[in-house]
Amino acid sequence: MCNELKIVAIQANLIWENPNENRRYFEQKIIQLDSDTNLIVLPEMFSTGFTMNPVTVAETMNGTTVSWMINMAKAHDIAIIGSIVIQENHQYYNRAIFVHPSGALETYDKRHLFSLAGEDKLYASGINRVVINFKGWRICPFICYDLRFPVWTRNTNNYDLLLFMANWPVTRIDAWDALLKARAIENMSYCIGVNRIGKDKNGYQYNGHTSAYDFLGEKVTSTQESKEDLLYCTISKTKLQEFRQKLNFLKDQDSFEIQK
């Protein structure tokens, strides 16, 4: 088990529907990181931006971007997670892909599709939550709009770290900040949200606010607003366990069943 996990989240200005350029950008950032980095977190649809053109940009699990993630993970002995557009079984998914340093893959498909943009008409909804075991840490990944739904993200699996990958616009950034903090507090978990910057082809503006919160909801660190930036965060398993032993609020939570 790794008591301390060193995480880097990359806040980037994504180039619209240009996987080659986006991969090149992230690769340059990754190769410059310290060798003791354990986990890299990329934004939602990091290779394309939040596009409603899945027919144009979708890849398969054997495609170029997944292969690139595997190569990066193996070459630098790190784990990488980010979401991309995947086509599978004649459907499209907004899929988070976690690549272990060995190249092994785990995936999570976005459950709550953003109907305001028509995502629910073009993409298939995920039905399963995922808890990833990495270096003794239990990591629960979610994507953007999932952040608004506390029942789906509720800590019933005793995870240690929540990850949210997003393209969250400037007009609702106060909600992003408030909800990341709330998810950390109510789940007694570390919580990291990575968001993009810049303007997409639809004219939506993004200003980042990539942030990390601890199990008390206190902000550990955050990026510069509206700038390309890296969030460096080291989280402690000992501190988390001590807090949960002292104030075990999770044992008093309501039980429920999600109807899929």
Which residue out of 59, 106, 110, 237 is catalytically annotated? 110
Residues near 245 by beta carbon (within 8 Å), at least 6 away in sequence: none
110 catalytic? Reply is: yes
Catalytic residue, candidates 17, 44, 106, 119: 44
What is the rounded CA–CA span in Å between residue 186 and residue 202? 35
Q: Which residue has the tokens 């000992």?
A: 238
- Is residue 144 flagged as an active site residue? yes
Do residues 143 and 98 touch, judged by C-beta distance below 8 A? no
Q: How far is CA 198 from CA 113, 167, 177, 179, 207, in A?
A: 22, 10, 18, 22, 7
Ranges of beta strands (E only) in the chain are: 4-11, 39-41, 79-88, 91-99, 105-109, 132-134, 137-143, 161-166, 190-195, 197-199, 205-207, 211-213, 219-222, 229-236
Active-site entry in 144, 181, 191, 233: 144
As annotated, the active-site residues are 44, 110, 144
